[in-house]
């Protein structure tokens, strides 16, 4: 029997899952109305595979579904799901395999939220497999992505609607008001995720930098390799040198 991989100290954003749990959808592909862009048929097949994974304590049902899927958003979703399963699910943890599937998912044009999550999780898995320099690159990619968003306002409050919400109305104006509020709420939740992940990316870079005993100059050289945007380099280095306060209340 193979020994279970040793789990290193990782950002709290990487939470190890225990059975039973419904993992949901990770790639976050949505349509114009903000609803999932995944077909009903795929969602049904995904849930059946999820149930089979729970029953068998094996990732094989997801791998079999992956072999049958052709649409890019379905393949990317399954690669993300399998990566999370190998990266976080109790009894199935295999960081090396998690790296493979997160890398496959990152071959697709993921929504920004999914990209940042995949980069975080792949970095966690790389760190567990002692590929610290590769993990550092992913954590810096995450900070680069976060740097393009204005997070100066701090932790945002989710405000209630300013007009009555008739959620089950078929009136087009009511439907649009509900959609507008849902989009607002989703954007606020994304800001919260960015603030949280930025905090953990900073902690992760500092941890790996200390493990490798590399200078700030070497970190900067890595940033320069990842992006030609010097303005981002300065922002990221400033984050790494500043006090990293927990953003959530």
Name the residue ranges covered by the structural domains of the chain.
40-241
Angstrom distances, CA of residue 25 to CA of 40, 87, 152, 175: 13, 15, 29, 24
User: Does residue 10 surpass a pLDDT of 80?
Assistant: no
Task: Give percent of the chain with pLDDT exceeding 70.
Answer: 89
The whole-number average pLDDT for the span 3-29 is: 48
The pLDDT, as a whole number, for residue 146 is: 97
User: Does residue 28 surpass a pLDDT of 90?
Assistant: no
User: pTM of the prediction?
Assistant: 0.86
* Partners of residue 30 on adjacent β-strands: 36
Fold classified for 40-241: 1.25.40
How buried is residue 217: exposed, middle or buried, by Cβ count under 10 Å (0-12/13-18/19+)? exposed
Q: Is the dihedral of CA 194, 144, 37, 176 positive or negative?
A: positive
The pLDDT, as a whole number, for residue 161 is: 92
Q: Helix-strand-coil percent breakdown of the chain, rounded to 5? A: 60, 0, 40
User: Does residue 87 surpass a pLDDT of 50?
Assistant: yes
| pLDDT tens by residue, 39-49 | 899 999 999 99
Report cis status (omega within 30 of 0) of the bond before 84.
Answer: no
The whole-number average pLDDT for the span 51-58 is: 94
The pLDDT, as a whole number, for residue 230 is: 95
Q: Name the least confident of 7-11, 123-127, 168-172, 224-228.
A: 7-11
User: Does residue 66 surpass a pLDDT of 60?
Assistant: yes
The whole-number average pLDDT for the span 56-83 is: 95
The pLDDT, as a whole number, for residue 5 is: 34
The whole-number average pLDDT for the span 10-18 is: 40
Q: Name the least confident of 16-20, 126-130, 236-240.
A: 16-20
The model's confidence at residue 32, banded by pLDDT at 50, 70 and 90, is: low
User: Does residue 145 surpass a pLDDT of 80?
Assistant: yes
The whole-number average pLDDT for the span 113-127 is: 97
Q: pLDDT higher for 183 or 166?
A: 183
How buried is residue 81: exposed, middle or buried, by Cβ count under 10 Å (0-12/13-18/19+)? buried
The pLDDT, as a whole number, for residue 96 is: 97
* Of 17-21, 32-36, 158-162, highest mean pLDDT: 158-162
The pLDDT, as a whole number, for residue 21 is: 38
Neighbours of 202 (CB within 10 A): 22
């Amino acid at each position: 029997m193979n020994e279970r991989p040793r789990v290193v100290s990782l950002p709290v954003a990487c939470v190890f899952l225990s059975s039973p749990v419904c993992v949901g959808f990770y790639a976050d592909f949505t349509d114009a109305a903000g609803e999932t862009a995944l077909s009903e048929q795929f969602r049904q097949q995904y849930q059946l595979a999820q149930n089979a994974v729970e029953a068998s304590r094996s990732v094989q049902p997801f791998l079999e579904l992956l072999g049958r899927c052709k649409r890019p958003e379905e393949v990317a979703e399954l690669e993300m799901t399998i990566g999370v399963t190998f990266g976080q699910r109790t009894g199935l943890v295999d960081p090396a395999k998690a790296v493979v599937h997160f890398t496959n998912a990152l071959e697709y044009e993921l929504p920004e939220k999914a990209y940042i999550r995949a980069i975080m999780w792949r970095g966690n898995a790389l760190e567990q497999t002692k590929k610290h320099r590769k993990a550092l690159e992913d954590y810096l990619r995450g900070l680069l992505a976060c740097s393009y968003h204005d997070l100066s306002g701090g932790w945002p409050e989710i405000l209630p609607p300013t007009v009555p919400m008739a959620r089950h109305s078929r009136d087009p104006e009511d439907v649009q008001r509900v959609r507008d509020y849902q989009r607002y709420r989703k954007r606020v939740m994304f800001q919260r995720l960015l603030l949280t992940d930025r905090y953990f990316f900073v902690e992760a870079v500092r941890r790996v930098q200390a493990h490798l005993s590399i200078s700030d100059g070497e970190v900067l050289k890595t940033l320069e390799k990842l992006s030609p945007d010097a303005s981002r380099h300065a922002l990221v280095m400033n984050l790494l040198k500043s006090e990293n306060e927990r953003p959530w209340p």
